[in-house]
Amino acid sequence: EQIKQKHYPESLKGYGSELLLVGINYDKDKAPGERKHSCRIEKFEMG
């Protein structure tokens, strides 16, 4: 959601009408080795 809220896709207007938005997240409050990573990939079409 942060990618959309900060309007990052608008800065890529010249790259085409279809984009893949990729967000990678992890729990930084956990100890190293116990941190869980998650990834979200979403197709985004420029209007």
Can you give the pLDDT at residue 33? 87
Can you give the pLDDT at residue 41? 94
Can you give the pLDDT at residue 45? 87
Which residues have CB under 8 Å from 44's CB, separation 6+?
A: 9, 18, 19, 20, 21
Can you give the pLDDT at residue 40? 92
Buried b vs exposed e over 20-34: b needs ≥16 C-beta within 10 Å?
A: eeeeeeeeeeeeeee
Rounded mean pLDDT for each run of 10 residues along the chain, 47 residues in total: 74 83 87 90 86
Write down the pTM of the prediction.
0.58
In 3-state terms, the chain is what percent helix, strand and coil (to 5)? 25, 40, 35
Q: What would the two tokens of residue 6 be?
A: 């900060």
Can you give the pLDDT at residue 2? 72
- Domain ranges in the chain are 2-45
